[in-house]
Structure 1
């Protein structure tokens, strides 16, 4: 049997998946004839790298983004599974994300890439380690304790241990657990290994093999990880942030052009996952959250990013080239009448593109600025919090497409609103609220921020859900498939969604 795959980066992702699945199937075709050309004996690092990057972008932009964007009220669910998520009912979901996109996708492939490339081309291994750390952070941030140090070892360990989240972040020598920070440091060392004889090219769909940008990605990832645990372990967070800052101002992402993003296309099968799901397949499931709409209308004039994030009722599905109509929001888990499709504010050009080509954002310039603004206040690290705060807003506005003239007018009209003042907590609230706005299109990052800080101050939905104890859920349920297949290693008592993860210290 022949399997025909289109020549595209998602097609190469599919090829990588076929190769992995094939590794555990029959060793030989009948008499070695009718060989499958899409199942070669070895997978090249180039094929693996493309697949890892595409899978990572897909995982961040797909169902994990849908649920987190609802929980942090960028979007509102108005039908089907989205409405269920919006009411904090999360049980029985995310098997595909755990098994296909993470453990059976990006994580097993990063292990293969590292093993194949470590001795022969450390640059590939280094990228694999950075993306492995990013994907493990995604998994542990959403679920808490997860398989980590023993994960993705293939037949060597089919029932990996669930490592404690504090060990994943901090390391544990007794259990031979390498911290996420050390995994990133190891990746950076590999990228800069003098024995590198070749670098990725078109197979690297994030940076095209640019060594300098991968260094910036790795150092910015260290800032992200430190920021996540900053309230649980401020000493470690401070040490890591100072370590990064000591490398110099250019060691991290400092321009939008250096952002770590995963590109998508306009053809069916290659489109941004939010476009494919929310525009093409399930146009009746979600619309703009009233909470998010009200927040962008708090200053005067309205935040100029609004028409890029969400459409008006006059634009369907996404464009900023036609006259603006009215923005229409919906209460999260609301009971009011749902507007007809033509009268809803739907996913805008920044989130999904005109035809599905919008990239998924992993690490960004605005994120770096907001992290350093917060840490200057809470940890005493270097930098002027007000300048960094404004830098983050300007970077976000520029990124979504707001003109310099409109940015300048917005700042001139909202000086008090855009000035950090009051107590440290009030200043952090202002920073995190702007960071929440900037992350529209990626719900994972503001979901982390909300859980660790309580900002922005979101409304609790009115539909009572005993499992969430009338609070926004603090984690996801473990997938049923993992619990039933790895019972000897899974937690004896499965936490409810109301139980905070280790780094979430908020009451």
Structure 2
């Protein structure tokens, strides 16, 4: 009897195990895992795109450093409390490092896409888009710091590399250009386009191709001084491939929440800060005077005086009643400056700020690369003999598109063809007989066209040498009164990635604001 009962018990146990086993497979699945038919890496690209526009690096580094360096903005605030550190070349740990940490968070997302799609044919276009976007992220990073972790970046999960080496900027540029060439060529409109993961071009492969070649043009032109023959080759490839043709091709990302209630998706922490706080950035006298002296129609849409920064009704956009703030001043030194009017209301508020109705919108765009910039680069390339075409026509197209581009920020900023034609008649292309005069005119227009894009404005001023900005020499600044050439590496790199950090410094030069990058060759 005991044997019988034991047999029945054993049989019951086996049946029970068989029944339970039907649920073990589901129990052992992670409901949050992105595997099998639930895996859609397209959403990672959308997140990378949004974070490229949203993250603090776009504001704290591009606006507060880049825009100050190139004298688009100035600030009156004293060192301890102001944001526009680039105005006075002073060091602020958080904003100096913001782009670095933001970029590597984005690189992780892109590396996840690349690692999980490179052997899956159906994801071809998504893979190529991600490779192109990676150059968008990395070229800004290397242009601000120089040698940076590149080839081993984002591989902690996949190759257990926790202390990535710093690649030389020359090698980074060579690889970025090769990546652009290969990825752009492999984009295929007949394969899945993944519009759900592309908040920029909605999966339009032809626009992605134009982006790839326009980025190639930008990076190729970056080499114009250090490797002119290589620059020529890449510029010609980009031109032959097909670059931006109008503002419809522009790469920009808009905030999604005009009310600012969804902070994670809005621009609530961005340009608005430059005009709505007690210590705002003001339009630099350098930039203001350029626009005013050339009767530039962008002036009336770009700047405004707010005598009360909390009351938009105090806005005045009449250029005759406005003025730019000289760079390098604070409240202690302002009153000795000839521009200061002791009878005007307030100290900083007698100076022009950005027009909040145009640039202060929570759902406004972040510009990354535009047709205006591209046409101006072609103007320079054509006078160098690197591409065919009429330099004057490229110049006119660049100026026209740059002016029309303001309406993307707000429809009220639309500049008419009549106004643009009058400007071009008053400011014609100087011609190719005087190369330096032509380069100065083209690149000064590029400087105007990249207003509110501090990364690109700062990079092209260093590359071209134009406009010829007069450096400031504020007490205890980082450059000794010299024009800045880069930012410092994050402080913890010397501790957490010591060996590679030291290798980079030994190769590139001292970790300070005046060490030149590889492509930033001295004239």
Q: Tell whether the structures are fold-level matches, with TM greater than 0.5.
A: yes
Q: Which has the higher helix share?
A: 2
1:160 aligns with 2:154: no
1:441 aligns with 2:443: no
Match of 2:197 among 199, 203, 209: 203
1:138 aligns with 2:154: no
- C-alpha distance 461-351 of structure 1, shift in aligned 2 (>3 A): farther
Match of 1:230 among 220, 224, 227: 224
**Is this contact kept in 1: 2:220–2:235, CA < 8 A?**
yes
1:504 aligns with 2:520: yes
Q: Distance in 2 between matches of 1:287 and 1:123?
A: 43
What's the secondary structure of 2:499's corresponding residue? coil
**Is this contact kept in 2: 1:370–1:435, CA < 8 A?**
yes
1:240 aligns with 2:240: no
Deviates more, 1:238-247 or 1:343-352: 343-352
**Is this contact kept in 2: 1:98–1:479, CA < 8 A?**
no
What is the Cα deviation at residue 184 of structure 1?
1.1
Q: Distance in 1 between matches of 2:512 and 2:239?
A: 38
1:393 aligns with 2:399: yes
Q: Distance in 1 between matches of 2:40 and 2:30?
A: 16
What TM-score, normalized by structure 2, do the two folds share?
0.80
1:163-202 → structure 2 map (5 Å cutoff): 163-170=167-174, 179-192=175-188, 196=191, 198-202=192-196
**Is this contact kept in 2: 1:309–1:348, CA < 8 A?**
yes
1:309 aligns with 2:302: yes
**Is this contact kept in 2: 1:454–1:506, CA < 8 A?**
no
Deviates more, 1:382-391 or 1:83-92: 83-92
What is the Cα deviation at residue 320 of structure 1?
12
What is the Cα deviation at residue 345 of structure 1?
2.0
Match of 2:129 among 123, 127, 130: 127
Q: Distance in 1 between matches of 2:238 and 2:177?
A: 11
Specify the alignment match of 1:58 in structure 2.
54
> Is there any run of 5+ residues in structure 2 with no aligned partner, and where?
1-25, 341-345, 407-413
1:106-505 → structure 2 map (5 Å cutoff): 106-118=106-118, 119=120, 120-155=122-157, 156-170=160-174, 179-192=175-188, 196=191, 198-247=192-241, 251-265=242-256, 266-268=258-260, 269=263, 270-272=265-267, 273-280=269-276, 282-299=277-294, 302-313=295-306, 324-325=317-318, 326-334=321-329, 335-337=333-335, 339-340=346-347, 342-348=349-355, 352-353=359-360, 355-400=361-406, 401-412=414-425, 414-416=426-428, 418-420=429-431, 423-465=434-476, 467-492=478-503, 493=505, 494-505=510-521
What's the secondary structure of 1:489's corresponding residue? helix
1:85 aligns with 2:86: yes
What's the secondary structure of 1:53's corresponding residue? helix
**Is this contact kept in 1: 2:71–2:287, CA < 8 A?**
yes
What is the Cα deviation at residue 351 of structure 1?
6.2
**Is this contact kept in 1: 2:149–2:165, CA < 8 A?**
yes
Q: Distance in 2 between matches of 1:181 and 1:432?
A: 22
Q: How many residues align?
A: 454
**Is this contact kept in 1: 2:73–2:87, CA < 8 A?**
no
- C-alpha distance 214-159 of structure 1, shift in aligned 2 (>3 A): same
**Is this contact kept in 1: 2:74–2:327, CA < 8 A?**
yes
**Is this contact kept in 2: 1:315–1:324, CA < 8 A?**
no
Q: Distance in 2 between matches of 1:374 and 1:221?
A: 16
Q: Distance in 1 between matches of 2:427 and 2:280?
A: 38
- C-alpha distance 347-315 of structure 1, shift in aligned 2 (>3 A): farther
Deviates more, 1:471-480 or 1:181-190: 181-190
What is the Cα deviation at residue 204 of structure 1?
1.3
What is the Cα deviation at residue 317 of structure 1?
8.0
What's the secondary structure of 2:197's corresponding residue? coil
Which structure has the larger Rg?
Answer: 2
What is the Cα deviation at residue 421 of structure 1?
5.8
What is the Cα deviation at residue 230 of structure 1?
1.4
Deviates more, 1:368-377 or 1:329-338: 329-338
What's the secondary structure of 2:353's corresponding residue? coil
- The two structures, once aligned, show a CA RMSD in angstroms of 2.8
Q: Distance in 1 between matches of 2:446 and 2:311?
A: 23
1:45 aligns with 2:37: no
**Is this contact kept in 1: 2:275–2:356, CA < 8 A?**
no
Deviates more, 1:324-333 or 1:94-103: 94-103
Q: Distance in 2 between matches of 1:447 and 1:331?
A: 18
What is the Cα deviation at residue 46 of structure 1?
2.7
